[in-house]
Structure 1
Amino acid sequence: MTTTAYSTVWDLDVFFKGGSSSPAFAEHLQSTEENIHNFSFQVHKWEPENSLADQSSLLKLIESFQAATKKLREAGAFVSCLQAQNTNDKKAGEHRARVTQLSASFQNVLTAFDEKLTSIDSSVWEELMKEDGLKELAFVLTERREIAAEKLSKEEESLINALGVDGYHSWSQLYDLVVGKIKIPFSEDGEVKDLSVGQAANKFSSPDREVRKNVFEKWEQSWREQTDYLSKAINHLAGFRLSVYKQRGWENVLKEPLAINRMSEETLNTMWDVITKNKQLLVEFLNRKAKLLGVEKLNWFDLDAPITKADAKISYQEGAEFILENFSHFSGEMTAFAKMAFEDKWIEAEDRPGKSPGGFHTYFPESSQSRIFMTYSGTPSNISTLAHELGHGFHTYAMRDLHSLNRNYAMNVAETASTFAEMIVSDASVKNAKTEQEKLALLEDKIQRTVAFFMNIHARFLFETRFYEERKNGTVNTVRLNELMEEAQKEAYCNALGEYHPTFWASKLHFYITGVPFYNFPYTFGYLFSLGIYARALEEGKGYEEKYIALLKDTASMTVEDLAKKHLNEDLSKPDFWEKAVKLCIDDIEEFLALTEE
């Protein structure tokens, strides 16, 4: 494949020239505020007539809603990119505070809008949802109306939103501030260096066990030193949430995250039950890995250790071309999208200091463009991450012709397209391995994701549900938080490890995200759901592309149960679908165990 060299630095100037000091972005923020005010004025002026005459009023409001949403999301996406590319960009931090304030104002208007939706008589509502222009939005509008009916009054919900800016969301921002200042001392070549959290985390994949052990000891110590602050943050975040739930009369802490993810508790429980019943083979994998590394039992810091010698680094260009080549075996549209992302500088992959750890995809709705953030250092895992984020991008691209209200897919299905793209590349990597050693390393890297989704994420879910139950009775102290975390890890990993990570509740950002409560189980759902779809794609080959895109287009306009029924003819509340998806993971582990028999 002949191509020009792909840039490892993204282009943000196409949105607002000048970065965080951009005059155009300052104007955009002002324009966003005006759009929110305009929407607010229209909402407060609207008096539903409880008749089909409301159709034109409702359509005008939706248009205004759509315009404000696009402006706000464009601003949020730009700020996320600015902060990720340079963690020391103070001006970007100021912009983040402004966007948070605008979001709270917008939420207040939406609360008023939703309350007016609930005032429309049910029989009139049903007829309205059959009208042109509203029919395609029936699911999302009815969903808003039903959720609003279970909340408090407009005034009370607006007060919660207002207090959340300097309360709820501020605890999350405090977490970011504390983590940004954490330095982890690491001795290398006779010199002690202060590593950032992201840099230290990369050391856990070092082939040298002493390096991993020493970093982990310093890692635990550094987090322990901050636990007084972080236990305050996690307790107040949970306390705020629980107080709101209590006022609304919501006893089940999973009510909101399940509603956000458009799934039932029965489906969630069935998924975890099937995973739990199939964990024994994962334990065998962990035991085999321990044997290969020459230790009796893996410790937490051994989980990401490589089992074979690292191969030569893969250049960014080679990685990009490998992804394009393998996407092309499945989908012409996905390949075209990825090629556009590489050629038009949509990806920030440069390996340089000052960047945020991790990777993400974000969408600029006004510009109809995506941006992908990661740090590429030439490992097979980096290629998987890049494919994963391109999968997210393709998901939004597949929905580009839909009404913007029908594009708000939840986190659990968001992980479906990304994992699907990642599976295409991971599978191809294993099949294209030049030596048995390389195949083993790639297979192990693939299985590590299963360990993460079935064990690590499960530990987070167990910890968080139990922590919330205890938090209902008062503050949970640091010692107890450590105990809850270690108990959850031991259960989730079936006691297969020698040493655990009790301060994981402090080191994992996901526990401090305010936008989505219980930022854990959707990952596992998305992983297994995508495996079920991937199995279909393997059966049908390139001909499955059209069906796959049709499924992606429906991800924001129905429950996951209805989505699976319509496109896969599967019942997610029953074990069958989950067992078939888990079987793909088991096949990988069995192959690994057979290859390492001796």
Structure 2
Amino acid sequence: MTTNKRSFLPEHFEIKFETIEPFYKELLDREIDSVETLIHWMRDRSELEAALEEDFAWRYIKMTCDTTDEKLLADFQYFATEIEPKIAPHTNELNKKFIASPFVEQLDQQKYFIYIRSLKKQLELFREKNIQLLSDLQVEQQKFAAISGAMSVEINGKEYTLEQAANFLKDTDRTVRKEAYDKITARRAQDKDKLDDLYTSLIKLRHQVAKNADFENYRDYAFAALGRFDYTKEDCFAFHEAIEKVVVPILAEQAEVRRETLKLDKLKPWDTDVDVTGKPALKPFNNGQELLDKSILCFEKLHPYMGSCLKTMKEKHLVDLESRKGKAPGGYNYPLAETGMPFIFMNSANSFRDLTTMVHEGGHAVHTFISSDLELNDFKHLTSEVAELASMSMELISMDHWDEFFTNDEDLLRAKRDQLKDVLKTLPWVAIIDCFQHWVYTHPEHTTAERTQAWTGIYKRFGAGFVEWTDYESVMQSIWQKQLHLFEVPFYYIEYAIAQLGAIAVWKNFKQHPEKAVEDYLAALKLGYTKTIGDIYKTAGIEFNFSKKYISDLMDFVKAELKKLN
């Protein structure tokens, strides 16, 4: 948990292209005459790239913490437009130099397999004419944060961010819920056309990137760029079908029970979050400080190392947890490549969902800490299926210690039930977003109307939220616009479902042998991305599997656990 000391770069210098270019040139010109000098070269390159990544990280973090500050936006855009495009050709030349070295064959092929495979793929994908396009995308996609961060509504004479206003959707008074829902959706509708236009422009840019790299469409390019060596688009289609056949019926059944329990003729969109027992919404903490402190205690009970990670973040002020106007939406854990610690950003409105977000991001944080000592920066460039296994497993294995948040046994049971129901709800929503992206990027010339029609068909295929949308069809047709990933990290979503299955399997092991399951989990995280996904999952004591039978078996387990909580 200590800052990595530099040996190649000066300890302190301002990061601009002019100051970093000499280090790229030195690496490119340096003679490599043995496997030892090659490894030294790799470590120096790693140090340079880590410094750049951390500089970019802070620009992004500061910008998302305050989207209204024009200087912070300009600082971010400077990196995206003046540094990244200029270092891209140098990075490609370094990749060429490495792959061409005769000493690559003398490296430990098992240790460096993932690294070598990654650099070869980067070489395949690099196109000079994509440099400016990728820079334009960096700037363009951040407009989503500015648009969304400016959204707020007034309820009972007080201004709320949309995250804060969502708490009213848990109110036991249906009139209050409907009023909040109407205000939230009306506010989103104000920027519907703006977000449609933004998404259209992003699709156009991404399609051109794919064509430049000799791919038929951006979907196929994204699979290569994301390093999806372990599964194919056909596997994704099979996964969508498995979710439709196995999970959607479970949720449809639960929706019917909800409707009957609430004594409603029809479930409406504002009826899905209220507790069916008629009890007020769970409130596990009162503010961001309390959320962090209780999370530290929860993690310490699970494993002392985990608690120490969050404690360090608190001491170093590496968190920004509470929702406020002008802050970008969503939540993330951003690894700081040099210091070996992360920053957690989220939009807490003091709700139960914020508790699960915190432990989710906390799982990512533990991953950052435990893999920080790996030899090369590239070893910490996690594939999403591995990264999300860390976070989604933490949501489940931490539940045994949620008594730090709920002193009342009945509230604790409610929280666990809600969490498991959220686990089930996650799978179809991921399938919807993934399926939608497959359509969007394989039909790049589509109109807004065609996109709306495609979304509607896909959403209905997976239950359309299991509610009745009469008079709210336009809301349903644009509900995808709230999903940050579509705008900022395209095709990064199926990983949540794959990792969710892995997390359930980790939790299943935890229920049987808690200490061993936690040790296996930490052992998997410690690998970073130095092994294949399958090997990392195996280290965690689980399978890398998202077949229909596997999904069915895991859903039976979740249903059985839910039954125990009733």
Under a length normalisation based on structure 2, what TM-score does the superposition of the two structures give?
0.84
**Alpha carbons of 1:454 and 1:221: their partners in 2 closer, same or farther (altered >3 Å)?**
same
User: Is 1:303 aligned to residue 268 of structure 2?
Assistant: no
Q: Which runs of 5+ in 2 are unaligned?
A: 5-10, 470-474
The match for 1:284 is 253
Matched ranges for 1:356-505 at <5 A: 356-403=328-375, 404-429=377-402, 438-439=411-412, 441-471=414-444, 474-477=445-448, 479-493=449-463, 496-499=466-469, 501-505=476-480
Matched ranges for 1:85-104 at <5 A: 85-101=65-81, 102-104=83-85
Moved more, 527-536 or 28-37: 28-37
Whether the 8 Å contact between 2:371 and 2:528 is mirrored in structure 1 is no
**Alpha carbons of 1:325 and 1:579: their partners in 2 closer, same or farther (altered >3 Å)?**
farther
Report Cα offsets for 1:82-108 as digits up to 9, x if no partner.
234333222211111122132333333
Matched ranges for 1:23-422 at <5 A: 30-31=14-15, 33-34=17-18, 36-42=20-26, 44-45=28-29, 53=33, 55=35, 58-101=38-81, 102-117=83-98, 119=100, 124=102, 128-131=104-107, 136-149=111-124, 151=125, 157-166=127-136, 168-184=137-153, 186-188=154-156, 191=157, 195-251=160-216, 253-259=218-224, 260=226, 262=228, 263-265=230-232, 267-269=235-237, 271-279=239-247, 280-307=249-276, 308-310=279-281, 314-315=285-286, 319-320=291-292, 322-350=294-322, 353-403=325-375, 404-422=377-395
The match for 1:10 is none
**Alpha carbons of 1:32 and 1:422: their partners in 2 closer, same or farther (altered >3 Å)?**
farther
The match for 1:11 is none
Amino acid at match of 1:214: E
Distance 2:481 2:546 in 1: 33
Amino acid at match of 1:278: V
The match for 1:20 is none
Amino acid at match of 1:333: Y
Whether the 8 Å contact between 2:161 and 2:325 is mirrored in structure 1 is no
The match for 2:8 is none
What is the DSSP-based 3-state SS (H/G/I as helix, E as strand, rest coil) of the residue aligned with 1:74? helix
Whether the 8 Å contact between 1:283 and 1:494 is mirrored in structure 2 is no
What is the DSSP-based 3-state SS (H/G/I as helix, E as strand, rest coil) of the residue aligned with 1:557? coil
Whether the 8 Å contact between 1:77 and 1:364 is mirrored in structure 2 is yes
**Alpha carbons of 1:62 and 1:313: their partners in 2 closer, same or farther (altered >3 Å)?**
closer
Distance 1:486 1:215 in 2: 24
- Alpha-carbon offset, residue 237 of structure 1: 1.4
User: Is 1:552 aligned to residue 525 of structure 2?
Assistant: yes
Whether the 8 Å contact between 2:294 and 2:405 is mirrored in structure 1 is no
Distance 2:148 2:324 in 1: 19
- Alpha-carbon offset, residue 328 of structure 1: 4.0
- Alpha-carbon offset, residue 408 of structure 1: 0.9
What is the DSSP-based 3-state SS (H/G/I as helix, E as strand, rest coil) of the residue aligned with 1:175? helix
The match for 2:485 is 510
**Alpha carbons of 1:466 and 1:375: their partners in 2 closer, same or farther (altered >3 Å)?**
closer
- Alpha-carbon offset, residue 399 of structure 1: 0.7
Moved more, 460-469 or 193-202: 193-202
What is the DSSP-based 3-state SS (H/G/I as helix, E as strand, rest coil) of the residue aligned with 1:30? coil
State the Cα RMSD in Å.
3.4
Distance 1:538 1:361 in 2: 27
- Alpha-carbon offset, residue 198 of structure 1: 3.8
Amino acid at match of 1:83: M
Report Cα offsets for 1:86-132 as digits up to 9, x if no partner.
33222211111122132333333222333444556xxx5xx624436
Whether the 8 Å contact between 1:416 and 1:527 is mirrored in structure 2 is yes
- Alpha-carbon offset, residue 553 of structure 1: 2.3
- Alpha-carbon offset, residue 560 of structure 1: 1.6
**Alpha carbons of 1:584 and 1:569: their partners in 2 closer, same or farther (altered >3 Å)?**
closer
- Alpha-carbon offset, residue 293 of structure 1: 3.1
Whether the 8 Å contact between 2:360 and 2:392 is mirrored in structure 1 is yes
**Alpha carbons of 1:318 and 1:172: their partners in 2 closer, same or farther (altered >3 Å)?**
closer
**Alpha carbons of 1:341 and 1:463: their partners in 2 closer, same or farther (altered >3 Å)?**
same
- Alpha-carbon offset, residue 320 of structure 1: 4.8
Amino acid at match of 2:495: P
- Alpha-carbon offset, residue 330 of structure 1: 3.6
Distance 1:119 1:138 in 2: 16
Whether the 8 Å contact between 1:204 and 1:304 is mirrored in structure 2 is yes
The match for 1:22 is none
Distance 1:209 1:393 in 2: 38
What is the DSSP-based 3-state SS (H/G/I as helix, E as strand, rest coil) of the residue aligned with 1:362? strand
Under a length normalisation based on structure 1, what TM-score does the superposition of the two structures give?
0.80
Whether the 8 Å contact between 2:80 and 2:139 is mirrored in structure 1 is no
Whether the 8 Å contact between 2:155 and 2:180 is mirrored in structure 1 is no
